[in-house]
């Protein structure tokens, strides 16, 4: 269930950064080549749940996706449970005017706290994508066992659909058992053989593999899953040429950041190593893991980032690091994003990337704090 989603953003021409401190807020700024106007926080949602088993007025681990010139949907957990993982419900916030105004709500028929109620006891790890071929917004969620179960008892992968980002269907269940870390991506390249195919990839814990299921009808039905090498905390994108690329961390005695790619619509996968896992400086008091994040720019170039301490003496702090590829097979040597000096004593974590559509390039962002501070030095903010 651990996923640093707050760093993920897609830009098309709006930029979204999700930060929460009791409530959920989005910071928006227009994308411009040489301009960076001040961001203005907007509260776009608040936790409506009241069950005593959750910490309320919390909306966390957000994901967002924008498509076209003005539409963006964000999704997030609301009412995070004190123990056992998961939250009371999954929220959404939708803007159709580039972040000027927002509408919000919560997915129906998902948890016992939803309106109307659903079969699951709690939910977590929401991630959102858009299917332009079928005009559908899709939110994938990790739904957890009915009460008194928890997210450590049993889990299911679900997808909720919406034609407008406001009115959402009851969830479709893709898989149940011991699942985790799902991610959703859509093929919006109109010239591709698989244009309109959407993919959900997740970690099958019991099977020890990466599972991927696809849909060709806007998320109504899903094909039997295909399996690839086991990846922890997968994230995925689809290149303009239709290649699905999933990144994550392998297990075993020696772990690697790997990329699994499929150029046949998710039927088979080729695995490539990006870099060995070296280490990470622990962020005391913060729920942070060095999971890999991936983005693709308008030209099809892939960018993968995570937090890593290999460039700091004695693993004294983390840097945001970056590797790139055009084919998901050959990856550039890992590079440190030069935010500051390696002797700065500042820890950088939860890095994310925003593609500056439709042109080539991405813009990184991250959280920072001094290594001696028990709290963040500054909120997560765009940088670079």
- Note the pLDDT tens digit of each residue in 246-289: 999 997 656 999 999 999 999 999 999 999 998 888 765 667 78
Coil vs helix vs strand at 18:
strand
Measure the CA–CA gap between 145 and 174, rounded to whole angstroms: 15
- The 10s digit of each residue's pLDDT in 279-330 is 888 765 667 788 899 999 989 999 999 999 999 999 999 999 999 999 999 9
Mean pLDDT of all residues in 341-368? 82
Closest CA to 280 of 304, 303, 255: 255
To the nearest whole percent, how much of the chain has pLDDT over 90? 67
Mean pLDDT of all residues in 68-77? 93
The DSSP symbol for 330 reads: S
Residue 377 reports pLDDT greater than 60: no
367 band by pLDDT with thresholds 50, 70 and 90? confident
Structure token digits, residue 359: 């042109």
Among the ranges given (9-23, 172-186, 213-227), the one the predictor scored with the smallest mean pLDDT: 9-23
What b/e string do you get for 198-235 counting C-beta neighbours within 10 Å, with b at 16 or more? bbbbbbbeeeebbbbbbbbebbeebbebbebbbbbbbb
What b/e string do you get for 17-28 counting C-beta neighbours within 10 Å, with b at 16 or more? bbbbeeebbbbb
| Mean pLDDT, the chain, whole residue set | 86
- The 10s digit of each residue's pLDDT in 123-177 is 999 999 999 999 999 999 999 999 999 999 999 999 999 999 999 999 999 999 9
Mean pLDDT of all residues in 32-41? 57
């Amino acid at each position: 269930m651990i996923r640093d989603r707050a760093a993920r953003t897609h830009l098309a021409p709006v930029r979204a950064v999700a930060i929460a401190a009791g409530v959920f807020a989005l910071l928006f700024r227009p994308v411009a080549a040489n301009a960076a106007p001040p961001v203005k926080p907007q509260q776009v949602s608040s936790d409506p749940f009241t069950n005593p088993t959750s910490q309320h007025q919390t909306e966390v681990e957000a994901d967002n996706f924008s498509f076209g010139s003005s539409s963006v949907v964000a999704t997030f957990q609301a009412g995070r449970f004190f123990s056992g993982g998961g939250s009371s419900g999954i929220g959404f916030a939708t803007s159709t005017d580039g972040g000027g105004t927002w509408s919000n709500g919560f997915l129906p028929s998902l948890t016992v706290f939803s309106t109307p109620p659903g079969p699951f006891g709690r939910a977590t790890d929401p991630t959102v994508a858009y299917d332009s071929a079928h005009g559908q917004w899709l939110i994938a969620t990790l739904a957890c066992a009915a009460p008194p179960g928890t997210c450590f008892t049993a889990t299911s992968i679900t997808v909720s659909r919406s034609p407008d980002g406001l009115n959402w269907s009851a969830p479709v269940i893709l898989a149940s058992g011991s699942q985790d870390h799902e991610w959703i991506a859509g093929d919006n390249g109109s010239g591709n053989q698989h244009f309109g195919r959407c993919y959900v990839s997740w970690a099958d814990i019991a099977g020890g593999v990466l599972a991927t299921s696809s849909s060709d009808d806007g998320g109504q039905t899903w094909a039997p899953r295909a399996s690839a090498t086991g990846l922890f905390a997968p994230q995925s994108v689809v290149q303009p040429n239709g290649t699905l690329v999933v990144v994550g961390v392998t297990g075993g005695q020696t772990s690697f950041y790997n990329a699994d790619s499929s150029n046949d619509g998710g039927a088979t996968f080729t695995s490539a190593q990006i870099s060995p896992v070296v280490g990470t400086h622990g962020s005391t008091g913060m729920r942070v893991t060095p999971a890999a994040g991936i983005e693709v720019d308008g030209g099809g170039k892939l960018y993968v980032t995570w937090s890593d301490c290999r460039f700091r003496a004695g693993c004294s702090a983390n840097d945001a690091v970056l590797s790139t590829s055009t084919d998901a097979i050959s990856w550039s040597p890992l590079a440190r994003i030069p935010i500051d000096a390696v002797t700065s004593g500042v820890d950088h974590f939860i890095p994310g990337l925003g593609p500056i559509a439709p042109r080539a390039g991405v813009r990184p962002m991250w959280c920072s704090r001094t290594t001696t501070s028990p709290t963040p030095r500054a909120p997560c903010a765009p940088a670079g």
